[in-house]
Amino acid sequence: ADLGIDTVKQAETFAAIRDAYGIERDDNLALRDYPTLNDVIGFVYERAEGLAAPAAEDDTLDVVSQTPDAPVVGQQTLDVAEPEVAAEPSLITGDDAEAARVPRRIPTAVLRPSLDHCVPTGVELGEATRVLVMLDHGGIGAALVERLEKRGVSVLAVDDAPESQALLETVDAFAGEGEIDGVYWLPALDVEPAIGEMDLAGWREALRQRIKLLYATMRHLYGQGGENGVFLVSATRLGGRHGYDDAGAVAPMGGAVTGFTKAYKREKPHALVKAVDFPTGRKTAAYADVLIDETLRDPGAVEIGTFDDKRWTVSLVEQALPAEPGGIQLGPDSVIVVTGAAGSIVSAITADLARASGGTFHLLDLVETPDPNDPDVAAFGNDKDGLKRTLFERIKERDGRATPAMVDKELAGIERRHAALSAVQAIEAAGGTVHYHSVNLLDPDAVGAAMEAARQTTGKIDLLLHAGGLEISRLLPDKEPREYDLVFDVKADGWFNLLKGLGEAPLGASVVFSSVAGRFGNNGQTDYSAANDLLCKSTSSFKTSRPDTLGVALDWTAWGDIGMATRGSIPTVMKAAGIDMLPAAAGIPIVRREVTLRDTTGEQVVGLRLGILLEEFHPTGGLDVGGDGAVARQLGGGKVEVHGVGGFGIYDGLAVTAELNPVEQPFLFDHQIDGTPVLPGVMGMEAFAETARFLYPDLYVVAIEDVDFHAPFKFYRNEPRVLTITATFTAEDDEIVARCRLIGERTLVGQDEPQRTVHFTGTVRLGAAPPELGPTEVSAPRDEAAGPEAIYEIYFHGPAYQVLSAAWGIDGGAAGQFAADLPPNHLPAERSTVTHPRLAELAFQTSGIWEIGTTGTMALPLRVGRVRFAGDPDAASGPLIAMVDAGGGGFTVRVADRQGATFVVMEGYQTVSLPTQVPDTAVAPLRSALGEHG
């Protein structure tokens, strides 16, 4: 460790040593058993053939293992941002265009399939099972214990929140009669008081009961529970959807429990691990049943919520920032408080905020007030390599010996002084005012004094940026209590002290620095994940506790260019995991952009590719698809044609696949552009509707909205292709909402990995009753109407998609009559469709007639704002007519019969024109048909 070797580099080194000496891999090897160079050398002599260990010498190297990420782990009163080896923050500035390219992934509550559609978890709750239940005070735990005991489960129920050592002694006594198989952790079901009603001691005690005892328990049981480990089912009272709803988190301390649970799953990937969230209420027996049911089925998700009799989890939805400002305004009168101000990343962000505002900044950090005349700080900026040599000689003269790790430790302190000075100078250069507070975030009096000083300027704080914290990655068995407390408390207690210091003063916006570890959990970061998710849920609670404050929680990925993740082997590991480092130029403006443009409190994952973080926990996402799809077909109730079901993932939702053959299906071989079959947009919408109804076959398609045709789905060389439709589900009022994507993959010449393209996207709304479309006044065909010969001299469609028998002009647009006796749309022809695809195609083509006749250009579908379907077209009275209104920002089309019965209403239909003009000789009949209306 004195050489600056982190655990990842240690593993790489061991792999290289095994290869060099021909030592076979040992899956049971624990790297923590080899903390020194002597231990590593001993490993080689033990395992390699033909080597004999030399006689021991007196002067051996024996170094205590200490992670370089925490050079001052022994200090209990540490307040630092993440330790960093940085580029010059003063030389790196933000680029708004680069920031805009970073996807804004918003954690969002989405529906999970019902448990009877899910596979078993493998956990059994019977006479051979032994579990620990840490009780809540509301009765759910008591009801759970009663139900478990009825099943024959041996239960250790703990209800008095004992001290850690006493709890572990109780656990050991219970485990002495047989290993413990699982833990139910329920204290976070109790709603804690509001922050304003707690003092620091009360805050710490509430967190001790919820998270510190959980850490102690799961660390103690780490090796029990058989091959997969001890199962963990924790419960929270965040509101039933983990705080990702309009009400926000009810009891935000549950975020710490959820964060720990997610990280524990990363360390125990084969164990059942769930964080089950509930709304407020008195349902003790029903919620106890939920906990048992969740233990037995669905291994596909960790975060589970129960709300409105539905199961939920947390996914990610990409959302663009509003184009117009909706948040706070930054200017010379702005008062901004920043913690962790001496971190190089934070320093660069502070400089960006200073340039945007020129306001008053209060910078908080444990580092002393930066001295511009400090020669070491100057050398860090001008000659870092020379400074390292100077430090080496200085340490050697002072301590008798010097190591690279000792140099890096002192260099880190100088770096932080340099970063603090850079922030101060950037603020002053922008015309702002700086107040630097050298404080420990764990000291409530010091933090309170700094917040009081900030409030005195204008009586309010415009922006509070909480970036203070540190991270020490170690697996749970290796994470000592002192270290766990240090990592967790700096973020958590620091946040409490800031809010208590703020009191009732107005706060325009707050930004807390979380990380992808807080959102997804991470190996070796049960403390860091818990603290970060606590900050996220506390921010969520602002929706009700501080409705006038814009709360932003940023789940940062690892930064490139500056920050601690640029060091050592971390970039290599991130690349292998498929995770992109965040360019500093893209990351720096994000805080400013979020607080000035966004208008709602919420959380955001900040990163490019997220790689393994988005991998599912189960091959089918927990959905029971059956070996041959038979179960999946049964789930559809026979009402939806299911081709193949890939599963139900957290991030892609339900995945349904279909192989389409362009030489077999009429909707393909009669829909070719330049000789290449292209999937009709209307069949894409049909695919969305079928997929949405897969788990809800008794519901009706109320509407399909926001359909975007991003790229045509082509069948090259008339060969079959597989398409995949994914749907993530939410609920709004009484409707189920499915957000769908149509995806295709192609392996191109010279590429090892297939190219994955999202061709269509759209949203399907399902309800208990079909929509009522109301009557439509239709126009009869005019004498000058264009016939199919003129229409399909221009259009590329074959017989099955020659849906227009006539087209003519009407006031404000055009009308088109549906052709009779068309060939089948698809085979087998008896299969019914959920929507009316060729009536939607009638709307498309009639709108296109108006465009060709008025502009001379043909266009392809680009977007549909909203389309609704109702009734049975086979019961229509007389021919069906599409009435197109060409006014406004897009076409509005109503398809009805001669009596006015309406079957399709399409709104906001937009097209994209092809680059070539249609010959005048072909346009002339259409222009004549439109007459004065064209």
Q: Establish whether the linkage from the previous residue to 279 is cis, with ω within 30° of 0.
A: no
Total Cβ atoms within 10 A of residue 47: 16
Contacts of residue 206, defined as CB under 8 A and 6 or more positions apart, other chains included, come to 192, 193, 198, 253
Exposed e or buried b per residue across 880-914, where buried means at least 16 C-beta atoms within 10 angstroms of its C-beta? bbbbbbbeeebbbbbbbbeeebbbbbbbbbbbeee
Contacts of residue 316, defined as CB under 8 A and 6 or more positions apart, other chains included, come to 105, 106, 107, 108, 605, 614, 651
DSSP conformation class of 874: G
- Tokens 């004094």 identify what position? 449
Q: What is the mean pLDDT of residues 405-413?
A: 87
Contacts of residue 66, defined as CB under 8 A and 6 or more positions apart, other chains included, come to 1, 2, 73
* pLDDT number for residue 563: 63
* pLDDT number for residue 628: 47
* 21 or 537: which leads in pLDDT: 537
196-225: pLDDT as tens digits: 999 999 999 999 999 999 999 999 999 998
* 836 or 82: which leads in pLDDT: 836
DSSP H or E stretch at residue 419: helix 404-429
25-34: pLDDT as tens digits: 887 777 777 8
Write a three-state SS string for 12-58. HHHHHHHHHHCCCCCCCCCHHHCCCHHHHHHHHHHHCCCCCCCCCCC
d(CA 528, CA 343): 17
- Report whether pLDDT(648) > 80: yes
Q: Poorest-confidence range of 143-147, 397-401, 712-716?
A: 397-401
Nearest-5° Cα angle at 801, 796 to 805: 95
d(CA 812, CA 884): 8
Exposed e or buried b per residue across 159-195, where buried means at least 16 C-beta atoms within 10 angstroms of its C-beta? eebeeeeebbeebeebbeeeebbbbbbbbbbbebeeb
With cut-offs at 50, 70 and 90, classify the pLDDT of residue 750.
Answer: confident
DSSP H or E stretch at residue 792: helix 788-794
Closest CA to 742 of 688, 675, 819, 666: 688
- Decide if 550 contacts 533 (C-beta within 8 A): no
d(CA 258, CA 217): 15
d(CA 65, CA 34): 9
* pLDDT number for residue 73: 25
Say what angle helices 404-429 and 375-382 make with each other, to 10 degrees: 90
d(CA 904, CA 868): 6
Six-digit token pair at 568?
Answer: 């050592």
State residue 258 phi and psi, 5-degree precision. Answer: -65, -45
Q: What is the mean pLDDT of residues 280-285?
A: 91
- Decide if 427 contacts 361 (C-beta within 8 A): yes
- Report whether pLDDT(851) > 90: yes
Parallel, antiparallel, or unpaired for β 902-917 and 303-307? unpaired
**Percentage, residues of the chain above pLDDT 70:** 92
* pTM summary value: 0.86
Number of H helices, E strands in the chain: 27, 29
Helices (H), ranges, 37-131: 37-47, 96-100
Helices (H), ranges, 271-342: 284-296
Closest CA to 513 of 81, 111, 920, 167: 81
d(CA 839, CA 858): 20
Find residue 465's DSSP bridge partners.
Answer: 338, 511
CA dihedral 310, 311, 317, 323 (to 10 degrees): 40
Q: Provide the residue type at 739 as one letter.
A: R
868-924: pLDDT as tens digits: 999 999 999 999 999 999 987 799 999 999 999 999 999 999 999 999 899 999 999
State residue 713 phi and psi, 5-degree precision. Answer: -95, 105
d(CA 934, CA 923): 12
- Report whether pLDDT(572) > 90: no
The chain-wide mean pLDDT, for the chain, equals 90
Find residue 92's DSSP bridge partners.
Answer: none
With cut-offs at 50, 70 and 90, classify the pLDDT of residue 171.
Answer: very high
- Report whether pLDDT(184) > 90: yes
**Percentage, residues of the chain above pLDDT 90:** 76
- Report whether pLDDT(22) > 80: yes
